[in-house]
A = this chain, B = another copy of it.
Amino acid sequence: MGILLRNVLAVTGESTTTVDLRVDGETISTVSTERLSARPDETIINGEGKLAIPGFVNAHTHLPMSLFRGLAEEIPLNRWLEDHIWPRERNLKPEEVYWGALLGLAEMIRSGITLCADMYFQTDEIGRAVEEAGLRAILSCGIIAERLDAHGKAELDKAAEAIARWEGAAGGRITTAVSPHAIYTCGEEIWHAAIELAADHKIPLHTHLCETQGEADWSQKNLGMSPIAFLSQIGVFSVPVLAAHCVHVGNEDIRLLAEGTATVVHCPKSNSKLGSGISPIVALRDAGVNVALGTDGAATNNSLDMFEEMRMAALLAKGCSCDPTVLPARSVVKMATENGANGLGIGTGRLAAGEPADIVLVDLDSIRTLPAYEPFSALVYAAHAQDVTDVIVAGRFLLRQGELLAIDEERVRHEVKKLVNRQAN
């Protein structure tokens, strides 16, 4: 049992090449410009008119928050969290977390995402949803605590339980991270304990960093330095870190990030919609920082769609700098694939022999994309999630010719509507 992708235009390094691509088990075994002869037990896919890309990596999200999409819109982050989201989250039932996560996963698969880094709570419900949905995820149970008191210990215990339960689960598709929520919600003792937990398990930290001006001001006032200077000083950048946002960063912050182990996860749609600002990703990249892309949760985005995120990243960078040459399409595709995979430490995000068989086919032959003179440009500037026809993760089809196989989409819609109606009444 394997898959033979025939005659498909594939993203190979800096350019695209027409190849035959073979999947054996969970791995890409051959990528060849020569025609491969089919084996009797192989599923043969005619790749003509399609572009094969490595699956997108959504490097920062909160899956169950799809349940809050469109709730309490167009207000600042602090009011949104304190007045609307946190009160709801305190009463969130396990079934809401589960169906909210499946809603998010269905949307992600349809937009070609094969790996995501999630931060939430009730991790068992999310793990169950990811296990069924069939893609890869790095899960973490977020920590919010000032001190290592009874509450702080309970938060760390929950984080540790999630690691014990989910690290390596679903045949290795699920791994874990440690997620102190942010510098303004976690005290120094908590950060030290989080670093230790991550180092013990050789897993990354995942946090929100320099998202708003308010956070930067809070940090100067309470810590006497920038959030990044503080984290650097206490040794956070000694372990791999997924640092979501990094909007309000100065030159010295950029230098510290470039020296350290952090991957910056750029979330341009969420940052824009919340009025948080715009991350200086061109400067970050120029300094040598690994910059990946994330959707954040659907409650602030309001999509989990990497085509939209790539497009927004490219357009914002060009529009704000008044320079059409910065951040070309090929670089944006890299951010959405290779840089994400590197940041999460899972594969290289490339279509190459020996890599995980996480492959997405995109139809560039529609009225939205024709004539696709340049495939990277078509992918970033013209293609939509609806142009994704097939999604393969670990050698298994999750989407086949536009049909979602691993998730019962009708059931998800039905259950989500039932939960939302119940909440409203």
Contacts and interface: CB of A to CB of B under 8 A. Distances in A.
Nearest to A315: B272
Contacts of A298: 382
A67 B373 CA distance: 10
A320 interface: yes
Contact of A70 (B75, B278, B325, B373): B373
Contacts of A328: 73-74
A67 B67 CA distance: 40
Contacts of A199: none
Interface in A207-263: 213
Nearest to A318: B275
Contacts of A276: 319, 322
A303 B385 contact: no
B312 A381 contact: no
A315 B70 contact: no
A277 B417 CA distance: 41
B319 A271 contact: yes
A277 to B, nearest CB: 5
B384 A69 contact: no
Contacts of A374: 70, 73
Contacts of A372: 69-70
A93 to B, nearest CB: 15
A320 B278 contact: yes
A324 interface: yes
Interface stretch (A50-58, A156-164, A333-341, A362-370): A362-370
A303 B381 contact: yes
A192 interface: no
A311 B269 CA distance: 9
A275 B321 contact: yes
Among A298, A308, A373, A409, the most chain B Cβ lie within 10 Å of the Cβ of: A373
Contacts of A277: 319, 322
Nearest to A314: B273
Given A381-B301, A384-B386, A371 B67 contact: yes
Interface residues of A, number: 69
Interface stretch (A27-35, A102-110, A141-149, A180-188): A102-110
A33 B208 CA distance: 47
A145 B236 CA distance: 63
Given A312-B315, A374-B70, A325 B275 contact: yes
B384 A325 contact: no
A76 interface: yes
A295 to B, nearest CB: 12
A273 B318 contact: yes
A273 B381 contact: yes
Nearest to A303: B382
B367 A107 contact: yes
A103 B365 CA distance: 12
B274 A377 contact: no
A370 B269 CA distance: 18
Contacts of A329: 73-74
Interface in A259-318: 268-269, 271-278, 298, 301-303, 305, 308, 311-312, 314-316, 318
A377 B73 contact: yes
Contacts of A346: none
Contact of A103 (B73, B77, B274, B370): B370
Interface of A: 67, 69-71, 73-77, 103, 106-107, 110, 213, 268-269, 271-278, 298, 301-303, 305, 308, 311-312, 314-316, 318-326, 328-329, 365-374, 377-378, 381-382, 384-386, 409, 412-413, 416-417, 420
22 contacts: A69-B369, A69-B372, A70-B373, A70-B374, A70-B377, A74-B318, A107-B367, A107-B368, A110-B367, A110-B368, A271-B319, A275-B326, A276-B319, A278-B319, A278-B320, A298-B382, A301-B381, A302-B377, A303-B382, A367-B409, A368-B385, A370-B416
